[in-house]
Structure formats: C-alpha cells, structure tokens
Amino acid sequence: MNRNAICLLLVLFSVFTSKCDATENLDVKGTVYLPGTQGYIDAFSASWNSRATTRSPAMFVYVQDESDIITCINYAQRIGLKITVRGGGHSLRSTVDGAIVIDTSRINYIYIEHDNTTVRVGAGCKVGAVTKALQDFGLGIPTGTNEDVGIVGLSLLGGQGYLTRKYGLLVDNVVAYRMATMAGHIITVNSSQNADLFWALRGGGGRFGVVTEITFTTHPQQPVYAGTMIFDASGINYRASVQAWLGIRAMAEQAMERRLCIAPIFTNIPGSAPGSFRPVAIYIIFWDGPADQGQSII
C-alpha cells in the first residue's frame, strides 16, 4: 500500500471515529444528526431562510427536554464548539458554521394555568400553536403577525403584533423564564429571582443562556375582524395616502381604545404581461371587536 493510500485511510478513520465519539459522548434522549447523514441534510428544511443551507454546523441536536439542553451545553463547552439555538427556524443566526445547533422544536408544550391569567409555553412553540390554544379558552397575547415564527425568539427581541397597541409588545407580557445557563444549571428568571437577568432577557436576545420556557400574562380575547385589502396604486399620491393612514391611526389611538390596526404596504405585483409589474397598495386590517362593528368602521 502506497503512502497516499495510507494517508487516505487515516483521514477516513479519523472522520469515522470523530463521528462515533460525538454520538457516544453526547448522551441525549433526543436525536443527533451529524454531517453526511440524511437527517443532517433534512434538518436544514426547518430553517425559513434558504441561506441556512450555505452554513456547515457541526451537528443538529433535536433535544427532548431541559436535561438534553444541559447535556449539549456541557458537551459543547468541553470540546470547544459554538452553541446556537433554533426554535421556529426564522433566524439565520440559529445555523452557524461549526456550531452545535440545539433545536428545541420538540419542547412544544402549552399549559394554561387554571385561573386563565397566565400561559407557560415550551421553547419550541410557534406563534400559531399558542394562539390557537389560547383561542379555545377565549384568551390572547400580543404575538407577532406570522404564525410560523417561534414564540421564544420573537419575545426575546420584542415581539410586535396586532394586539400590541392594546397590550404592548410580547416581551411586555412576560412573567417569567426558565433558562439553562452556560454553567449547566436551570434557573428561574423573573422580577424577584435573577431580576437583572429578567431585565436583560426582555429585548436583549438569547445570548445569556438557552431559554427553555416562558410564562406570559394572558388577556380575555374576543373574535376579531381582520383581513387584507389590495388597491391599484397606479397614479396614487403616496404622501396623501400615508397622511390619511396617519390620521386613521391617530383616531384609533384616541377614540377607539386602541382596537384598530391598519398597516400599509406599497409594493409591486406581477402584471398581466410576462415580466411586467404594477404598483399596489396593500392594507392589513385588524379590528379587535365584532365583525359588524369592524365592517362599519372600515
């Protein structure tokens, strides 16, 4: 056997043993996907941003519970891996070269407390699932506008939605966090326990640890009247249109108890001829009240 063949065998053996070491030393109840496996390739499909496929994480770990998260943190620190966390998969920052990607999608429980004043959600919950669960109890929280977004990542960076005018940002409705620290401990974070961290987490992002659960204040929520209106914007006076929207917004602020939300979007859509486009004005309408009221107001 020549020298090149021996070198190749040594490289292959090194790769094989490193993969074996990774799975053997990372003892989790969830699932570990390493480069070169079908699971690793499929894991990219959970990322909303297609640019995630250009990244090369060291592995994806679909954790089952908090103990799995602690195991991942300890393992990553022991061998010098970066750590990223993926909840809903919308953030490109959750997929990083050479990192262990902790995917929390399996931690997706939703517990509404018996007095209906708070809801506890697992780190892998998405906005749509939480909204639907609360809806069944006549409750709501000011989540974002896209049901496919992870609710933990959304709240850590603020979280603005249709009910924000009435109840504030999603982060304003956080009561408490459970979080895995880089020291490998699970802690409770609220206004009385680890209060400085509570201040930092509400808007500061997820760089202080791995949030495993959030408790939100809930609000009584009735059915709403909402939808999208699209108008041809050819020849539109954009200044006048925006000024009119600002007037409506001021009226909603003063006279409608912050129950009306109108978001204008000016863009282009494909025209009738191939390669052509036409300008449109899109208004996203949200009335926090009965349909007959919403129809008469709008």
> Domain of 99: which CATH number?
3.30.465.10
> pLDDT tens digit string along 140-196?
999 888 888 899 989 988 888 888 888 999 999 999 999 999 999 999 999 999 999
22-48 mean pLDDT: 84
| Whether residue 149 sits in one domain with residue 247 | no
| Residue ending a domain, choose from 205, 220, 235 | 220
| Low-confidence winner among 4-13, 102-111, 123-132 (lowest mean pLDDT) | 4-13
Which phi-psi region, left, alpha or beta, contains residue 115 (left: φ > 0; alpha: ψ -120 to 50)? alpha
Q: Could you tell me the residue range of the domain that residue 281 belongs to?
A: 225-297
Instruction: Give pLDDT tens digits for 245-265.
Output: 777 777 666 656 567 777 778
Residues 184 and 231 in one domain: no
**Residue 152 near residue 86, CB atoms below 8 Å:** no
Total number of domains constituting the chain: 3
Among 86, 103, 120, the domain-final residue is: 103
Work out whether strand 59-62 and strand 99-103 pair parallel, antiparallel, or are unpaired. parallel
Q: Which pLDDT band, with edges at 50, 70 and 90, does 294 fall under?
A: confident
94, 151: one domain: no
Question: What is the token pair recorded at 294?
Answer: 């919403």
Domain-ending residue, one of 103, 129, 159? 103
Is residue 163 located within the same domain as residue 68?
no
Q: Report CA dihedral (244, 247, 253, 258) to the nearest 10 degrees.
A: -20
268 or 120, which is more confident: 120
Q: Residue 23 has what pLDDT? A: 52
CB atoms within 10 A of CB 22: 19
